[in-house]
Every structure is written in C-alpha cells, then in structure tokens.
C-alpha cells in the first residue's frame, strides 16, 4: 500500500492511499479519515460509496463528513467507484464503464476481468483496512449517494450481520425497473434478469429486508427522481414493515449541496447504531 497524501483534519488524519487490487486487477485508490481516538485503539467505521462519475475524492472534499465523524469518534472510508487505468474496459457514456462500477461482480465481456466492485468492497478492502489502520471491523456501517446509495443498500442487505445500519442519499432504489440499472445490469451481468435481483434494493427489501435501522433522504427537486424510484423502495419497506425512515426533502436536488446538508444527521444516525453494538 502506498500513501499518496495525509492531512491533519479536525484533530484526526485524512489520508489517501493506493494499492494493487486482486479483485479488480488494477491499482485502486481510496481515502480514509481517522479521528483522533484512533491513536488510542480501533474505532468504528462508516463506509461512504460514491455515485456515477465520482472517484474517492468527491465526497472526501465536498460532503463535510470528516467534522461530524471526528465529533462521533468514527472513521470514514471513501473507496473509488470502479476499476481504472490502461487495459480496463470503458465506454463513451458516463453511466457505464470507468466511474460506473455499480458495485457488482461483472460476468460479461469485456467487463469481467476488472469490474468486481462487490468483492472489492465486501472482502478485499475491509481486509486491507483491518491490517493497515486502527479500525474495528466488528463495528461497520454504510452509506452512499446515488449509485453509491444503491451499493450501500444492496451490500447491507446482501451481507447480513455485517453492518449495524444503512443510509443513503438519493439512492437508485429499483435499478431493474430503471434506465439507471437495466442498461448497466445487462452489460455487466447479462440478459438473464434473474441474476439482477440481488442488486436491486427494492427486490431485496421485499425478499429479506435489513436487520437494523435504515435512513434514506431524497430531494423533491432531484433532477433524476424518475430514475431513482424512491417510491418503489418505500412501498417495499412498508409492505415488509421494515424499520426505516424514508424522507423526501423539499426543494433539494441531486448535488453535494444536498448531501452535505444532511450529512450530520446521517453520521449521528450511524454513530447511535455503531456504539450500540
């Protein structure tokens, strides 16, 4: 693992690191903020998964999360959204290929060799974090924005017992029924829609739900609202009587102005669950 940068922030350290990934077969970059308490022993960790076109850097510099994580004494991890580099498949469209990994393990050509973001987030990166940083892997929570909200929800429900809590900002809630989903799931996983179900938060909510608290915020002026389909997830949560808070925030759009506005509440929500474990 190579250290690219480290900066003092809110009493802790914001670092950026690079390593050779066996899951994606390329170099991967990620950010980690460690609060001051990490110098005394392992701290709980919150994962933040970013959306389409983003790298590790977007949320790290725009979301304002470090101040609230420092206040709560928890670490936050900012992974990249896809494999990158020469030899990694890409597409001219912004919503497929590099920057658009969708947190799945691709099975189709030309994506399969590198686009294994599920394994990277679920297995490889947590193992690396546990070895290299003062992080308590028995206390993990997860959140994300847009495509990353989709990833946070599907990982939380797909890995029972892993995360104390899950939240999302404007997540893609029902990708099997959305143009932000059907295109990518077909490309990465093939035409058999039965293989898509474990990557659709609405279908997973209907089938198994999440054993813990859920918090979701979406803006009423989100320019992608019809693609996100929050109403589908809300209906599934209601039918299942899932413990969840799903809010439509008046006037907010899809930007990081929206994310940063509600970041304090989301981090406090996760801190409550993390410290209860």
Lookup: tokens for 136: 């308590």
**56: annotated active-site residue:** no
Beta partners for residue 144, in sequence order: 49
**Spans of the chain below 70 pLDDT:** none
Q: Active site residue: 145, 199, 254, 266, which one?
A: 254
CA 240 – CA 226 distance, rounded (Å): 23
In CATH, the number for domain 2-276 is 3.40.50.1820
Question: Rounded CA gap, 211 and 185, in Å?
Answer: 26
Residues 90, 184 contacting (CB under 8 angstroms): no
3-state secondary structure (DSSP) of residue 62: helix
State the Cα–Cα distance between residues 56 and 59, nearest whole angstrom: 7
pLDDT in tens, 38-59: 999 999 999 999 999 999 999 9
The one catalytic residue in 21, 222, 266, 270 is 222
Residue 222 is a catalytic residue: yes
Could you tell me the residue ranges of all domains in the chain? 2-276
Q: How high is the pLDDT of residue 277?
A: 84
Is 114 labeled as catalytic in the residue annotation? no
Query: How far apart, in Å, are the Cα atoms of 161 and each of 41, 52, 120, 230?
Result: 23, 27, 18, 24
Q: How many residues comprise the chain?
A: 277
C-alpha span between 198 and 157 (Å, rounded): 9
CB atoms within 10 A of CB 134: 17
DSSP 129-195: HHHHS-EEEEEEEEEEBTHHHHHHHHHHHHSTTSEEEEEEES----GGGSTTTHHHHHHHH-S-GGG
> Two tokens at 199?
């990557």
Sheet holding 75-79, edge to edge: 2-9, 12-21, 26-34, 75-79, 43-49, 135-144, 163-169, 214-219, 244-249
Structure tokens that stand for 122 in this block: 């679920």
Angle at 194 between CA 47 and CA 153, to 5 degrees: 15
Which residue of the set 146, 165, 167, 178 is catalytic? 146
């Amino acid at each position: 693992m190579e250290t690219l940068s480290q900066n003092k922030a809110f009493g802790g350290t914001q670092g950026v690191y690079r390593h050779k990934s066996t899951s994606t077969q390329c170099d991967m970059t990620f950010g980690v903020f460690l609060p001051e308490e990490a110098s005394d022993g392992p701290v709980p960790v919150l994962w933040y998964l970013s959306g389409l076109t983003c790298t590790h850097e977007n949320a790290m510099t725009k979301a304002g999360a470090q101040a609230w994580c420092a206040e709560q004494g928890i670490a936050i991890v900012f992974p990249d959204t896809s494999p990158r580099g020469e030899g990694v498949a890409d597409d001219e469209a912004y919503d497929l290929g590099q920057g658009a990994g969708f947190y799945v393990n691709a099975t189709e050509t030309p994506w399969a060799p590198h686009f294994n973001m599920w394994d990277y987030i679920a297995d490889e990166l947590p193992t690396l974090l546990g070895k290299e940083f003062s992080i308590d892997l028995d206390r993990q929570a997860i959140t994300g924005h847009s495509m990353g909200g989709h990833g946070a929800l599907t990982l939380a429900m797909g890995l029972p017992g892993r995360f104390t809590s899950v939240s999302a900002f404007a997540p893609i809630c029902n990708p099997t029924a959305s143009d932000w989903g059907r295109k990518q799931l077909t490309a990465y996983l093939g035409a058999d829609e039965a293989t898509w179900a474990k990557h659709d938060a609405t279908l997973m909510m209907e089938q198994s739900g999440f054993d813990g608290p859920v918090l979701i915020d979406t803006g009423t002026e989100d320019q992608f609202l019809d693609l996100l389909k929050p109403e589908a997830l809300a209906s599934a949560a209601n039918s299942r009587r899932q413990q969840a808070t799903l809010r439509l925030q008046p006037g907010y759009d899809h930007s990081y102005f929206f994310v940063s506005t509600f970041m304090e509440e989301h981090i406090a929500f996760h801190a409550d669950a993390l410290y209860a474990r």
